[in-house]
């Protein structure tokens, strides 16, 4: 049986035994490259950041390739690493952006009259709504509704019980609805 016919779990087992980035790990990269990048893009909303995050995910996969224990599907394990990597990058980016905003506010103080009427905005976009949530709740909603993950898959990725996962998704939706009633 060649590598393309192997399941994800079988490939992971072969890759764990390989001494370096052998053919099994290369097959894993080919199989997951697009899906990991897509998850990273959804969570980071920026192509360059998504590419950086995806690269970091595959470095982590390589370094931890022998640590997959088979308690979940391999794809769930990979996506868990992708989500944690993106959340870590967003937190770092958030701290950096807050610092940049503070510096900018100290140098330029625009008045409300300087803003165009269109910028005051009558329409609220989904990205802005999602930004009002904490990082994990935002990721849960994106993976559930944009990527179509099941509650069981999300529970495994976020290391929650299924009921806790459902509750967090429900509370995140309720928070958005309460903040943006219109």
What CATH number should be reported for the domain holding residue 168? 1.10.10.10
More confident: 130 or 21: 130
Confidence at residue 119, expressed as pLDDT on a 0 to 100 scale: 43
Residues 142 and 103 in one domain: no
Question: What would the two tokens of residue 133 be?
Answer: 């949530």
16, containing H or E segment: helix 8-17
The residue segments making up the domain with residue 65 are 1-108
17/34 Cα distance (integer angstroms): 25
160/152 Cα distance (integer angstroms): 9
Residues 100 and 49 in one domain: yes
Residues 66 and 153 in one domain: no
Residue 108 has pLDDT above 50, yes or no: no
Give the residue-averaged pLDDT of 125-143: 87
Give the residue-averaged pLDDT of 11-26: 85
Instruction: Read off the pLDDT of residues 48-85 as tens digits, 9 standing for 90 and up.
Output: 999 999 999 999 999 998 899 888 899 999 999 999 99
How many independent structural domains does the chain possess?
2
pLDDT band at 130 (very low <50, low <70, confident <90, very high): confident
Q: In this structure, is residue 115 part of a structural domain?
A: no
More confident: 21 or 111: 21
Burial per residue of 85-120, b for 16 or more beta-carbon CB atoms within 10 angstroms, e otherwise: bbbebbeeeeeeeeeeeeeeeeeeeeeeeeeeeeee
Q: What is the DSSP letter of 69?
A: -
């Amino acid at each position: 049986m060649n590598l393309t016919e192997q399941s994800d779990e079988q490939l992971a087992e072969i890759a764990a035994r390989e001494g370096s980035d052998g053919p099994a790990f290369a097959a894993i990269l080919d199989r997951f490259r697009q899906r990991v990048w897509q998850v990273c893009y959804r969570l980071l909303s920026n192509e360059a950041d998504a590419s950086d995050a995806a690269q970091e995910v595959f470095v982590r996969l390589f370094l931890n390739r022998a640590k997959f224990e088979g308690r979940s599907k391999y794809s769930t394990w990979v996506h868990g690493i992708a989500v944690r990597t993106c959340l870590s990058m967003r937190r770092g980016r958030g701290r950096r952006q807050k610092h940049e905003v503070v510096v900018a506010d100290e140098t330029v103080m625009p008045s409300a009259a300087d803003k165009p009427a269109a910028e005051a905005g009558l329409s609220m976009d989904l990205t802005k709504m999602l930004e009002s949530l904490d990082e994990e709740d935002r990721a849960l909603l994106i993976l559930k509704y944009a990527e179509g993950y099941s509650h069981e898959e999300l529970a495994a990725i976020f290391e929650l019980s299924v009921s806790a996962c459902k509750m967090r998704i429900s509370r995140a939706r309720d928070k958005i609805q309460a903040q943006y009633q219109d």
